Amino acid sequence: MEFPTALVLNAIIAGLLLGGFYAALSVGISISFGMLDVVNIAHPAFIILGSYIAYIVNGWMGVDPIVVSLVVSPLFFALGILLYRIYYVCFERRGQESLRGLAFFFGILFITEVALVLIFGVDYRMVRTAYSETTWRLGPVDFPMRLVVPFLVSVTMVVGVQLFLTHTFFGRAVLAVAQDPLALRLMGVNPTRVKGLAFALSIATAGVAGAFLIVIQPVQPAIGREYIGLVFAICVLGGMGSIWGTLLGAFVLGIAESFTSTFFGPSWAPAVSFGLLLAALGFKPSGLLGR
Amino acid sequence: MANSLHIEGLRAGYGAVQVLEGISLHVNDGETVALLGTNGNGKSTLMKCIMGIVPLRTGSITAVIDGIEHNLAGQATEDIVNLGIALIPEGRRLFPRLTVEENLLLGAYRPIARDAIARNLAFCHEVFPRLAERRTQLAGSMSGGEQQMLTLARALMTAPKILLIDEPSVGLSPLLVSHIINQIRDLKERYGLTVLMAEQNFHQAIRIADRGYVIVHGRIEYEGSSRDELSNNALIRKLYMGL
């Protein structure tokens, strides 16, 4: 089999761009699952909700979907606070978070999905932006703007989250909260408040990732399910609770997927991605950058 | 300004089990008071009660911080810490997957501690040079003695006025215990702390204690108002020296 240079370069660049987008999908899971021990399998539902909100506002006012998502991110943040409050009062406080909490988030996933189906139907929706049709060319390599713009905003967001978590008092408390909540209280920190705000941050990132999704590809309500495996795989591959790991894991899976699709056909892409995950965990069980 | 701790008629326990059966004690400003007792007599439970981790059933716990009296009963642990009371818990309870420096900086979470962060961090590094060398190492990968140093340093980063120490000697070699006890004395003197220290190791505890209490089955069985009194007490000689 031959690997022409132009195709290889294009596959790598497309993989990097895709990886940047995957990082936005996964950074929230890296916070909730990796740092807070909250197994929020409803995360993709909030991504799809973000897609539809961007779609509605774009159709109504013509505002760019990514701008919409950034403007409405405080609403997602508030939704996250409310959701964690319910989860905490009903499950976590009683020590029933492992199974019933999981069922709770599963329910949220389905309720959100069904609500979107009832309102919008099952048709695919897409948003056309000013840059949707634009592609920059650098020699033989293509840079489609519908991937480049989400990539840039996503990497900025993920790096911002990382800096926030490692350079602020609150961020360090988020890193510590699942390791020993009582020890955190002995530092004068309320662990429930820290978890609530960090969970809200994770939901806010989902809303923004939703806008990227609808810029990149058409969206229908059940499409979130396709991403559940991917986001958890990236989180585990990168290393639980490591944002740099999540970014690296997203790039690795993005490039692997793009390479496989280009040379062996798209149907092999998930198999290669998850094979890579298993191989990486075999050599380093804590993930690429896990502590 | 004066900092002290006063406990009256404290009863507490877990579920149907009553552990503390009416404890009364006090720690005056600037004192180091030892709480002596063998395992299972309620020392740790008393520490947890003061910090609001185990609720009290009857009795009262009050602390005077900078001359202002606070009722600690029913307060959340984090609020008690924010008053200026720190606990070094049994078993150290570090954040194992955070670095030494991240552990120390978490200690300085309360607003007053943030203001003093540079001074306190420099001080911790001066007293425990090992922690400065291992700034970027994960806390969970350090030796027991180093972890105990980090626990002490992290508690100091909260800029406390009253320091509670629960069994600093657990799991350490005799030489290290002696070293840690010396450091507690030095820190206490430099910071002007008021200290209540629970310890099974009588000989080490008595080196730095101004006075002490012996707790047996959840009751204060003996109160010694000086080191000599404690050393010559019949109950202590029976419990600790086998005489």
User: From CA B127, how far away is CA B133, in angstroms rounded?
Assistant: 12
- Split into its structural domains, chain B has a count of 1
Q: pLDDT for A144-153, tens place per residue?
A: 999 999 999 9
Mutation for testing the B interface, residue in A36, A166, A186, A240 having most B CBs under 10 Å: A186
B200 within domain boundaries: yes
User: From CA B48, how far away is CA B46, in angstroms rounded?
Assistant: 5
User: From CA B166, how far away is CA A202, in angstroms rounded?
Assistant: 37
Please answer whether residues B24 and B220 qualify as being in contact, where contact means their C-beta atoms are separated by less than 8 angstroms: yes
Q: Do B78 and A175 touch (CB under 8 A)?
A: no
Please answer whether residues B4 and B64 qualify as being in contact, where contact means their C-beta atoms are separated by less than 8 angstroms: yes
Which of A47-51, B104-108, B144-148 shows the lowest mean pLDDT across its residues? B144-148
B9 within domain boundaries: yes
A152 within domain boundaries: yes
pLDDT at res. B116: 87
In order along its 291 residues, chain A shows pLDDT tens digits of: 677 888 899 999 999 999 999 999 999 999 999 999 999 999 999 999 999 999 999 999 989 999 999 999 999 999 999 999 999 999 988 887 778 889 999 999 999 999 999 999 999 999 988 888 888 988 888 899 999 999 999 999 999 999 999 999 999 999 999 999 999 999 999 999 999 999 999 999 999 999 999 999 999 999 988 888 889 899 999 998 899 999 999 999 999 999 998 888 888 888 888 888 888 888 888 888 887
Which structural domain, as residue segments, surrounds residue B67? 1-84+162-168+193-243
CA separation, residue B70 to residues B11, B57, B62, B64, B81 (Å): 19, 18, 6, 6, 12
Q: How many CB pairs under 8 A join A and B?
A: 68
Token pair, residue A131, equals 């840059």
Picking from A176, A185, A190, the nearest residue to B95 by CB comes out as A176
B162 bridge partner residues: B85, B194
Q: Do A241 and B108 touch (CB under 8 A)?
A: no
A291 within domain boundaries: no
User: From CA A276, how far away is CA B237, in angstroms rounded?
Assistant: 65
A112 within domain boundaries: yes
Q: Please provide residue A207's backbone torsions phi and psi, each rounded to the nearest 5 degrees.
A: -60, -40
Q: Do A190 and B76 touch (CB under 8 A)?
A: yes
Q: Which residues of A touch B75 (CB under 8 A)?
A: none
**What is the 3-class SS of A62-92, one letter each residue?**
CCCHHHHHHHHHHHHHHHHHHHHHHHHHHCH
Q: Which residues of A touch B93 (CB under 8 A)?
A: 180, 182-183, 186
**Residue B41: HSE in the Cβ half-sphere, 13 Å Cα cutoff:** 19
Q: Which residues of A touch B98 (CB under 8 A)?
A: 172, 175-176, 179
CA distance, residue A288 to nearest chain B CA (Å):
15
B66 within domain boundaries: yes
A210 within domain boundaries: yes
A77 within domain boundaries: yes
Of all residues in chain B, the one with the smallest CA distance to A180 is: B95
Q: Which residues of A touch B114 (CB under 8 A)?
A: 169
Q: What is the CATH number of the domain that holds A214?
A: 1.10.3470
Q: What is the CATH number of the domain that holds B61?
A: 3.40.50.300
Which structural domain, as residue segments, surrounds residue A144? 5-283
B107 within domain boundaries: no
CA distance, residue B175 to nearest chain A CA (Å):
27
Please answer whether residues B227 and B36 qualify as being in contact, where contact means their C-beta atoms are separated by less than 8 angstroms: no
CA distance, residue A282 to nearest chain B CA (Å):
21
- Split into its structural domains, chain A has a count of 1
A228 within domain boundaries: yes
B10 within domain boundaries: yes
User: From CA B77, how far away is CA B53, in angstroms rounded?
Assistant: 6
A217 within domain boundaries: yes
Of all residues in chain A, the one with the smallest CA distance to B164 is: A186
pLDDT at res. A203: 97
A34 within domain boundaries: yes
Q: pLDDT for A155-171, tens place per residue?
A: 999 999 999 999 999 99
Type of residue numbered B210:
D
pTM for this predicted structure: 0.92
